[in-house]
Every structure is written in C-alpha cells, then in structure tokens.
Homo-oligomer: A and B are copies of this chain.
C-alpha cells in the first residue's frame, strides 16, 4: 500500500464527502450521535468498536468539524462529543441511508426502528425534486462536469 488515496482534490462533492465520512465507522458514530449519544464510553459500548479506533475516528470527526468536544452539561470537568451544525447537516444522508435500508434490507414482516416527526409521530419523508417541485429520479438528471480551463 501507499497510504489510502485521498479524494480531497476531487471536483465531485460526493467524493469529497466520502473522503471525510466514507470509512467504516464514521457514519455509524454519527448515526449514534443523532440518536443522542455523546460520551466516549457510550459510543464504544454501542458500536463494539476497538477503543483505539474510536479514539482516532472521534478525533478525525472533530478535526473535520462534524463533532465538537464540549464540557459536559452537568458541570463536571468531563467532556462530551456533540454534533456541530455541520454535523447535523448530515441528517439527509442518514435519512437517505435509512430509507434505502427500510426498502431493501428488511424482510417484509421484519421490524425496524423508525424516524418520526416528534410533534406528530408520523414518519418523515425524503424526496428529490426539480426546481419546479416535480419529483425527479436518476435518469432525469445529469452530472454537469466542470470544464477546467488551461
């Protein structure tokens, strides 16, 4: 190997995102953060991740601005990991992953957790629309390449 290739220079925004959160554990940590977990031990226990790996992942997530390390709300000198505004912007990614899983990765009768509107208890919806509000799928879209001037 020669160090895993970084996609930092890629012009594709998805690639850059994957460069930051595309490894095995990061999104699982973020998911649990959305779920309310904040402490090292909580993440470690809930994921069964090795502690040294968790340490490194948390550090990277903090370094890239997705999590922040703040003094614990109960006054002690301990710290806790919280989603930043940027981190919360990963919400659509989590919802999209959830939706895909619900549709394709569960047996018909199999139960799974659900993401619902806190106010009404109704499930939330994700949709992709054109500017005019019309729902749009992959076949009706194109990726516009940036043409590089010399």
Interface residues in chain A, defined as those with a beta carbon under 8 Å from any beta carbon in chain B: 4-5, 7, 11-20, 22-24, 27-28, 31, 34-35, 48, 65, 83, 86, 88-106, 111-120, 122-132, 136-146
Told that A17-B98, A18-B28, A114-B143 touch, could you supply 17 new A-B pairs with CB distance under 8 A?
A13-B106, A14-B94, A17-B105, A20-B105, A22-B24, A22-B28, A89-B104, A92-B99, A96-B96, A111-B146, A115-B142, A119-B140, A120-B131, A120-B132, A122-B131, A126-B127, A127-B129
CB-CB nearest in chain B for A23: B24
Q: Tell me the complex Cα distance, A94–B99, Å.
A: 13
CB-CB nearest in chain B for A103: B89
| Number of chain copies forming the complex | 2
